[in-house]
Amino acid sequence: MSTVLKRDFASFDDFYPVYLSEHSNRTCRELHFAGSTLALICIGVALVTGNFWWLLGALTAGYGFAWIGHFFFEKNQPMTFKHPLYSLMGDWVMYWQMLTGQASF
C-alpha cells in the first residue's frame, strides 16, 4: 500500500501535486479522460431522456476506466479509496487540463 494513501492533506492545493504523481502513466491518464468523457455523456443522456439509470452508467464508466488504469497500468491503488472528495476534484481538474492542453505531464 502506498504511503500517500495514509497521508492527510491540509488543502486541495497540497493534494493535487501528489494526485498527479499517482497518475504518471500516460495510458492511465488517457483511461481517466475516456471514462470521464463517457460519464459526462451518460449524465447528459440521463438529463435529456429522464432515464436516470444512465447515472449508473456514468459511475461505471468514470470509475471503471480509472480503476483499470490504476490496477493494470499505473500499478497503484486509486486515491479514491482514502481521499474520495479530493480525488474526484483531482479527476476533473486533470480532465480540464488535458482537454484544454494545459497538462504539463
Higher-pLDDT residue of 3, 30: 30
- pLDDT-based confidence at residue 104 (cuts at 50, 70, 90): confident
Residue pLDDT, tens place only, 41-98: 999 999 999 999 999 999 999 999 999 999 999 999 999 999 999 999 999 999 999 9
Confidence (pLDDT) at 20: 96
- Grid coordinates given for 26: 500516460
- pLDDT-based confidence at residue 6 (cuts at 50, 70, 90): low
- Grid coordinates given for 33: 479522460
* pTM attached to this predicted model: 0.89
| Contact predicate 23/74, CB 8 Å | yes
